[in-house]
Amino acid sequence: MATTPSILLLESSDGAFQRDAPNPSAHRMDSLQGSGARRSARFETTRPSALSVDESMVARHDDDPVHQDRRDRFCQAIVSGEELPPLIAIGVDCRLVDGYARLRAARLLEIEDVSVLVQRGQ
């Protein structure tokens, strides 16, 4: 089975990806902070099946050529060893909120573990 590649890219507030942020966890945590709620975010490695996923969205993406292309590009990137941004999940149930194309690529390639940035409320 394939393994999860290293994740060194982080999304900034403007949607661009940065390499080697001085404090990657803090960088993403700042953008995940909710209004007034105390939250923490951390990187975790988990099985894709452990995430709470809106499967109807996965099905819609699988039927859309634009999303098929994104999934296929992520598959190619994973196979060639490129670094990808982590999936983003929130809550105690690890509900996926960002990274559907990356998740679909991981499923297609039967990757056992994926990197996820999880934000849980406290």
What are the strands, taking DSSP E only, across 31-113? 39-46, 87-90, 95-98
pLDDT of residue 3: 43
The domains found in the chain, sorted by start residue, are 9-121 (3.90.1530)
**Do the Cβ atoms of 4 and 102 come closer than 8 Å?**
no
Dump pLDDT digits (tens) for 53-103.
999 999 999 999 999 999 999 999 999 999 899 999 999 899 999 999 999
**Do the Cβ atoms of 94 and 114 come closer than 8 Å?**
no
Dump pLDDT digits (tens) for 2-58.
444 333 334 444 444 443 333 344 334 444 444 445 557 889 999 999 999 999 999
**Do the Cβ atoms of 27 and 12 come closer than 8 Å?**
yes
Q: With residue 32 as reference, give the H or E element that holds it.
A: helix 24-32
pLDDT of residue 38: 52
**Do the Cβ atoms of 53 and 96 come closer than 8 Å?**
yes
Cα distances from 8 to residues 18, 82, 99, 102, 116, in angstroms, run 8, 10, 15, 15, 12
pLDDT of residue 41: 86
Cα distances from 25 to residues 3, 19, 43, 78, 109, in angstroms, run 22, 13, 7, 22, 27
**Do the Cβ atoms of 87 and 58 come closer than 8 Å?**
no
